Structure 1
């Protein structure tokens, strides 16, 4: 926890200097020494310097500098105090015989010394700390650029090397299956093909996550209605016999890009792949509200396991790889578009997951577009 000793000390010192002004004025009011133009000039020229440590302490509280610079601020303030106190102390005792004007000159030196010392050291420290922060930002930017280059390299490696190798393995496995009549060999080849398909699917998911982490393409309006209709048609083809239903109020536009389609395809696939119902069904409802569009995806599956509810939509790096990457991709893509993902309800009769996305211009007047 950052200590606040220096800001508090500065505020106290400023108040003490202001108190010295009040005390000296009171002495002149009750004593024989009257107000003179030199005294008025001294008060008016030194009063702003008494406010400097108060303002400085407040500034350190509101916009703290790193604590390692506190020593520099303290040394700068004490140096200014020592120099001006000694110098004007000698001047005061040399020029005046009475103690009240001597005290006034000494007070002027102390006040100006504290104000000048702190102000100079504060400006120096702020400049150094900003330069250090700028250098750190530059280093972080270079690291981010290096990371982006690495991600692009990995993306290309997966696309051209690993994926091609997986396709080659699958192709040769198919040829081997055609060339043999041995049932045991057929079974082993079938395992190879299933594992290759699984590896290809994982590579595809990783490529999407790499694309999400790369520089974001410029987002634009995307017509959500035909996109949802097409993705539901595709999930029917992949997971027959699944029943789908779409309810959309007219043409709905959201901010997105080419990866938006993948958000919903993964969400729909997840709803079907974990559905052990005899007649699996997905119902998709899109509603507009203010500046957002909410897409609710309802299934009639067994619901999410109780022990995994806490990390259903956790950041990718916190997820167990056994949970798969489908929902991780959906979560990352929702964030990409400035949206959110929420599990509305889950249980033995099914689950409802809602994706909320920012609206874009182009919506048509409400007119239900339904598809079953």
Structure 2
């Protein structure tokens, strides 16, 4: 009859009076192993008389809690003259609501009793299976947690205590698990933006999305380790917690510092050397009467100026690519107005037309203006007209803003377009550096860059930028 219950067939009977015990026991013996004892024993189900519930209620509740999440059913036998109910509001009834799972009325109907117990025991079998699956999943999680190469710590939001940490976290901070869990996390973790640790966890616990932040970890030996943490709010042991997955980026930071120093030294030395070469070229051009020598010297001066321009552009590109600006809402029309004013001052012979709505907000950072300026300036510089014409238009459609920049120049060479893919040809190293910077900035803010070019009609550059959600 109860094949799905397997061995879940033990019922403890908690009933006063030998006659009642014997009668109920006889009803159950055909399907269950019945235990009659004054002390709580291990069982699949408990059948208790309502007037004994105050005596055994606390013990049964403790037993159910110990078995959790496995279901441990308790059924109350309600006497005819009893006022027992699960709908009361008194404290004693509220406690019993947590203990009692079902009620059968006396005198007991054998069919009703067996039907109730069958359903409860089936639920117990199912809950045991789910418990086993949960334990297996938890065991796998524990193995993954401990074997992860990146440091993981879990911090309770309310107490601000480290409640869990893995092997990698102990190795990063230099403490044993026992020692690390007894440390104030704010004493070993400092955010580079100055945010307080408790402020960070409280704020994160109130939002759905996770965040990534850079921080400094202080080890047991007093060393400062640059790190990056991906953090998210989780439910841990029925408490609100924050999980931080911490990656050591010290080597990356060290390389970035070395590159910045190297770039700065190289640019400084190259600029000084090119200034010297350019100065000598001008002196030669001014002091010679030989037209050929003067022409060669002029070429030296022109090429020196090109190298100086490239050096300055490489500095702009380096700053733009290394910037960690957070995205914010920007009015791209206002940005283009500023660009138009600046270019009109620098290139008074150029005509710059802007067709746009009063405003159009996009996601961007401080280097979006640098990228758009680069595109507009290129349209002027590469124009073949005496009075270069640059048409700029702004349109809004489908959660995006499109900026279209059209010129009448010589088009963009294949070598420069190749820079968009990170390629570099042997013929013109770095000639498309500015275009590469533009593509990197636009891509970094989630936009798209499209270029249509023709050597006889000029180029059309289209920049699609995401709009902030309303």
Length-normalised TM-score, structure 2: 0.46
How far the C-alpha of 1:279 sits from its partner, in A, is 6.8
How many aligned residue pairs are there?
Answer: 273
| 1:299 and 2:281 are equivalent in the alignment | no
Instruction: From 111, 125, 128, give the equivalent of 2:143.
Output: 125
| 1:36 and 2:36 are equivalent in the alignment | no
| 1:22 and 2:4 are equivalent in the alignment | yes
Q: Deviations over 1:189-229 (max 9, x none)?
A: 12221221221122112111210232435668573243132
Q: Distance in 2 between matches of 1:201 and 1:21?
A: 86
Rate the CA distance shift 1:248–1:168 in 2: closer, same or farther, 3 A.
farther
Q: Distance in 2 between matches of 1:291 and 1:250?
A: 17
More strand by share: 2
| 1:213 paired residue number | 321
How far the C-alpha of 1:328 sits from its partner, in A, is 0.7
How far the C-alpha of 1:340 sits from its partner, in A, is 2.2
Q: What SS class does the counterpart of residue 173 from structure 1 fall into?
A: helix
Instruction: From 375, 399, 402, give the equivalent of 1:267.
Output: 375
Q: What SS class does the counterpart of residue 286 from structure 1 fall into?
A: strand
More helix by share: 1
Q: Distance in 2 between matches of 1:22 and 1:351?
A: 75
Rate the CA distance shift 1:231–1:355 in 2: closer, same or farther, 3 A.
farther
| 1:181 paired residue number | 289
Rate the CA distance shift 1:49–1:193 in 2: closer, same or farther, 3 A.
farther
Rate the CA distance shift 1:27–1:291 in 2: closer, same or farther, 3 A.
closer
How far the C-alpha of 1:142 sits from its partner, in A, is 1.3
How far the C-alpha of 1:260 sits from its partner, in A, is 4.2
Q: What SS class does the counterpart of residue 249 from structure 2 fall into?
A: helix
Rate the CA distance shift 1:339–1:163 in 2: closer, same or farther, 3 A.
farther
Q: Distance in 1 between matches of 2:33 and 2:416?
A: 79
Instruction: From 347, 364, 369, give the equivalent of 1:236.
Output: 347
How far the C-alpha of 1:233 sits from its partner, in A, is 1.5
Q: Distance in 2 between matches of 1:248 and 1:158?
A: 42
| 1:248 paired residue number | 356
Q: Does the CA-based 8 Å contact 1:277-1:301 persist in structure 2?
A: yes
Unaligned runs of 5+ in 2: 11-28, 36-41, 46-63, 72-124, 153-167, 169-226, 229-245
Q: What SS class does the counterpart of residue 44 from structure 2 fall into?
A: helix
Unaligned runs of 5+ in 1: 1-19, 51-106, 361-372
How far the C-alpha of 1:118 sits from its partner, in A, is 3.8
| 1:340 paired residue number | 447
| 2:312 paired residue number | 204
How far the C-alpha of 1:245 sits from its partner, in A, is 2.0
How far the C-alpha of 1:153 sits from its partner, in A, is 0.9
| 2:337 paired residue number | 226
Larger-Rg structure: 2
Q: Does the CA-based 8 Å contact 1:270-1:327 persist in structure 2?
A: no
Q: Distance in 2 between matches of 1:111 and 1:292?
A: 51
Q: What SS class does the counterpart of residue 196 from structure 1 fall into?
A: helix
Q: Distance in 1 between matches of 2:5 and 2:247?
A: 54
How far the C-alpha of 1:259 sits from its partner, in A, is 4.0
Rate the CA distance shift 1:351–1:179 in 2: closer, same or farther, 3 A.
closer
Length-normalised TM-score, structure 1: 0.56
| 1:164 and 2:182 are equivalent in the alignment | no
Rate the CA distance shift 1:267–1:194 in 2: closer, same or farther, 3 A.
same
How far the C-alpha of 1:342 sits from its partner, in A, is 2.7
How far the C-alpha of 1:162 sits from its partner, in A, is 1.9
Rate the CA distance shift 1:299–1:339 in 2: closer, same or farther, 3 A.
farther
Rate the CA distance shift 1:333–1:132 in 2: closer, same or farther, 3 A.
closer
Q: Does the CA-based 8 Å contact 2:361-2:467 persist in structure 1?
A: yes
How far the C-alpha of 1:128 sits from its partner, in A, is 1.1
Q: Distance in 2 between matches of 1:21 and 1:157?
A: 82
How far the C-alpha of 1:24 sits from its partner, in A, is 2.9
Q: Distance in 2 between matches of 1:147 and 1:349?
A: 44
